[in-house]
Amino acid sequence: MEERLPGHYLKSKEMYSLPGLVEYKPYLRYMFSAGQAQSKFLEGLKQGRILGKRCPSCGRVYVPPRSYCEYCMRPTSDWVEVSGEGEVHTAVVSYISTFRERMEKPEIVAVIKLYAPGYTEKGYEFAGLFHKLCNVEPEDVESGRVIGMRVKPRWRPENERRGDINDIECFEPVGGD
């Protein structure tokens, strides 16, 4: 026998005929708590600083910071400031905006492997950020030239920073000014 949960099952016809049920656009205001580590990271961005946390056991630096090292399963301890310079680890030419709309002019998005002080690389584990690249052409991605390219953050003017990841407008090639 089919087990039914209590209540009334909506048929799709009802879904579309009930006024306001499907096309209703809620006006929602909400607050999001970023947590201790992320909050300090976001505050840092507002000041033009990129902060991470170091694991006392293996020395890995997490940017954005994490409270726990996922390799050692222990709390990270010291705060570390990184310069923001790094190398492009992977990149892709994207024709889809963050709002999932098709774009005529593509954006280049990349994982940037940040240089972290005292950090010894082990395999693919590194302090890395996902962000847009400026002054890089789609052909640079298609040809693979972009991989390993040295980049630095381009900051928004101080009075425009809001304490979010877009306080960094993009990453651009070092010496490409």
Under the binding rule (CB under 5 A), the answer on residue 61 touching Zn ion is: no
- Please choose, out of 33-41, 54-62, 95-103, 104-112, the segment that lies near Zn ion by the rule CB under 5 A: 54-62
Instruction: Compare residues 58 and 93 and give the one whose CB is closer to Zn ion.
Output: 58
Q: How far is CA 120 from CA 39, 98, 142, 161, in A?
A: 26, 34, 30, 32
- Please choose, out of 34-42, 72-80, 106-114, 121-129, the segment that lies near Zn ion by the rule CB under 5 A: 72-80
Binding test (CB under 5 A) with Zn ion, winner from 38, 42, 48, 57: 57
* C-alpha span between 160 and 163 (Å, rounded): 10
Binding test (CB under 5 A) with Zn ion, winner from 45, 51, 55, 116: 55
CB of 65 to Zn ion, least distance (A): 13
CB of 132 to Zn ion, least distance (A): 29
* C-alpha span between 86 and 173 (Å, rounded): 10
Under the binding rule (CB under 5 A), the answer on residue 127 touching Zn ion is: no
The pairing of strands 61-62 and 68-69 is: unpaired
Beta carbons within 8 Å of 34's beta carbon, 6+ residues apart: 41, 42
CB of 164 to Zn ion, least distance (A): 27
HSE of 77 in the Cβ direction (CA atoms, 13 Å)? 7
CB of 86 to Zn ion, least distance (A): 20
Dihedral sign (CA 158, 37, 61, 148) = negative
Dihedral sign (CA 40, 44, 46, 47) = positive
- Please choose, out of 57-65, 91-99, 102-110, 119-127, the segment that lies near Zn ion by the rule CB under 5 A: 57-65
Under the binding rule (CB under 5 A), the answer on residue 69 touching Zn ion is: yes
